[in-house]
Amino acid sequence: MNVSPFPGDSRPLLEVRQLNHAYPLRRHKLFEPRSVLKVLQGVDFAVRRGEAVGLVGESGSGKTTLSRMLTGVEKPHDGHVLYDGSDVWSGTPEQRQLFRRSVQVVLQNPRSSLDPRMRVGTSLLEPLRSLKIEGDHAARVLEVLDQVGLTKSAMERFPHEFSGGQLQRIAIARALMPGPKVLIADEPVSALDVSIQAQVLNLLKDLVRDLGLGLVFIAHDLSVVTYTTSKVYVMSSGKIVEVGKPLDLFRAPKAEATQNLVAAILTVELGLSGKAFA
């Protein structure tokens, strides 16, 4: 279990309160009322500095939509998205800019987020340029490469010259470039070989501990959630149905959705021991 080095930071860095969201469905007749699909219903979610929080649920449970709200990609129909206590959608342009810089995403497939024609060093500079962040960019690249366990030589190479695990480290480095306070990691190891997954998970745990990052870890694999996070939210049908410590939650699930997730694990004792990658 992760132990936060910032125990005094009780106020959430990033949270949503009573979030509701729906998508309109197609009309079958020209003048009939348009029905909607409710994808989020009264969702409360929070992550603090130095805390790794898991988000699990079956496909279609609302995890992707919630992650879009947490990153500001989409505005909720109702409810609040707060960063450092300020409402993201009613704040000033300066607050919005700070939010964009402070919450970054690590995607499942690093190859899709890196331009194959661009050297890694240039790719790492893109977030600084797009967010108009000033400073010594070259020094920042070297600092971040060191944080993810890569050397200076990586700057001159192209994505195809790296293994899958190295590419995910580069994707994490790119997310770190603006100096975020929160990382949203969406299935960050599911595309990697099992032998490499532990290295990336350990890197994320180290970043949470050493940099005081808040980490939102979205995954289907309960074993990696247990290994990486200290708190987990379970989603089902657009709602948070259960919250708790991973080992407690998965060993004695109360909600039906949690029970179904646990029932799908083939090696429960090893997977939920938190030592699957030890």
Q: How confident is the model at residue 137 (pLDDT cuts 50, 70, 90)?
A: very high
Give the C-alpha distances (Å, rounded to integers) separating 169 from 86, 199, 200: 31, 9, 7
CA 192 to CA 102: how far, in whole Å? Answer: 27
Looking at residue 112, its pLDDT comes to: 80
User: How does pLDDT run across 224-273, given as a tens digit for each residue?
Assistant: 999 999 999 999 999 999 999 999 999 999 999 999 998 877 554 555 55
Domains of the chain, with CATH numbers? 14-27+34-277 (3.40.50.300)
For the stretch 69-90, pLDDT in tens is 999 999 999 999 999 999 999 9
pLDDT in tens, 182-229: 999 999 998 888 889 999 999 999 999 999 999 999 998 898 999 999
The candidate with the shortest Cα–Cα distance to 180, out of 6, 13, 1, 4, is 13
Average pLDDT over residues 87-101: 91
**Contact present, 20 and 69 (Cβ < 8 Å):** no
Give the least confident one: 3-12, 25-34, 91-100.
Answer: 3-12
Q: Pick from 255, 62, 112, 85: which is nearest to 181 by CA? A: 85
Region label for 237, one of left (φ > 0), alpha (ψ between -120 and 50) or beta (otherwise): left
- The pTM (predicted TM-score) of the whole model is 0.87
What pLDDT score was predicted for residue 111?
Answer: 83
Which residue from 63, 19, 47, 69 is spatially nearest to 181, judged by alpha carbons? Answer: 47
SS3 11: coil
pLDDT at residue 277 in the model: 42
pLDDT tens figures, 20-49: 999 888 877 777 777 888 999 999 999 999
